[in-house]
Amino acid sequence: MPHTHHRFLFDIVKQVMNFSPLVGILGHRQVGKTTLTQTVAKKYLTLDDEETLFEVRKSPKGFLKNHAELKTAIDECQIVPALFPALKERVRVKKIPGQYILTGSVRFTSRKAIRESLTGRIINLELLPLSISEIQHRALSDLAPQLIAAHSLNGFLQSFESEIHSSLKLSPEIPLYLERGGLPGVCFVRSQQLRATRIADQIRTILDRDIKMVYPTTLVFSQLLALFQFLANNQGQAINHSERFKFLKRPRRNCFTP
């Protein structure tokens, strides 16, 4: 099961909480932010819960006062922007580290008002999809520290040799990883059709809902999808602007086209 895999970011989150009052865990939708947060936090709250959402909207300041335990996690925090000025004031008055862990399906740092409230008061950490090592329950590579600590050419070469042997053991897993990726909700699904369906659902949610929370675009899903397909197919190339805007003239559709 995905939740049994140790995430390399876990130890870093714990370290950062020792000196920062606010810690943000950012990352792709369904990358495992909630699972990691629940592992680190002593108290977990989500604004997806109606009662919790009502409490925050009624009084953000009162909400924080009622949930003042250290290592309290607030998930989907971007739903109530008014929560962030209250967080700003709370950590200004109370500078104890490790107060709140903030996360959400939309990057709250991409919203200007929220970002300005948190500047200098939060350390944001990026949670990436599961790596091959995490999926295979292997330790994080320590090649860089070994190379720095090497006092001779022989020690330097030995470190490289050890890393090469370790990488070779993972070689058979690389094609499967390239096919399935590292999103916990996708990569462990055996059925290719079901994996494709889950990815399609995730893309629709990101383009239909998440993007519009960051930027109030009037483009419909089919147009957004065409735009991002164009950008994906033209990475590293000079953009022909006449080609880029062809997608705007396409008929609006409600169905998903992979």
Residue 70's pLDDT is 94
* Contact in structure between 24 and 107 (CB atoms under 8 Å): no
6 and 98 housed in the same domain: yes
Q: How large is the C-alpha radius of gyration of the chain?
A: 22
SS3 content of the chain, % helix, strand, coil (to 5): 55, 10, 35
Q: Is residue 226 part of a domain?
A: yes
Q: Structural domain of residue 163, as residue ranges?
A: 133-172
- On whether residue 82 sits in a domain, the answer given is yes
Distance CA 120, CA 118 (A): 6
What's the confidence (pLDDT) of residue 233?
85
> Same domain, yes or no, for 121 and 20?
yes
Q: How far is CA 9 from CA 101, 130, 140, 154, 167, in A?
A: 14, 11, 10, 32, 21
Q: Say if residue 57 is in the same domain as residue 153.
A: no
Model pLDDT for residues 148-203, shown as the tens digit of each residue: 777 777 777 777 677 676 777 777 888 888 888 888 888 888 898 999 999 999 88
Question: Given this model, what pLDDT does residue 23 score?
Answer: 95
Four-residue CA torsion sign, 9, 14, 17, 23: positive
Our measurement of the distance from residue 240's CA atom to the centroid of its chain's CA atoms, rounded to an integer in Å, reads 32
Domain boundary among 172, 193, 223: 172
The residue count for the chain: 258
Tokens 């962030």 found at: 84
How much is the pLDDT for 242? 67
Nearest Cα neighbor of 74 from 105, 95, 97 is 105
**CATH number of 125's domain:** 3.40.50.300
Q: Quick one: pLDDT at residue 113?
A: 65
In 10 A of CB 212, how many CB atoms? 14
Residue 79: the pLDDT is: 87
Number of domains in the chain: 3
In a domain, 257, yes or no: no
Rounded-to-integer distance, Cα 122 and Cα 25, Å: 10
Which residue ranges in the chain fall short of pLDDT 50?
1-3, 252-258
Distance CA 23, CA 73 (A): 9
Beta-bridged to residue 25, according to DSSP, are 103, 125
Q: Are residues 113 and 20 in the same domain?
A: yes
DSSP conformation letters of 177-240: HHHH-S-HHHHT---HHHHHHHHHHHHHHIIIIIHHHHS-----HHHHHHHHHHHHHTTTS---
107 and 82 in one domain?
A: yes
200 and 148 part of one domain:
no
3-state secondary structure of 23: strand
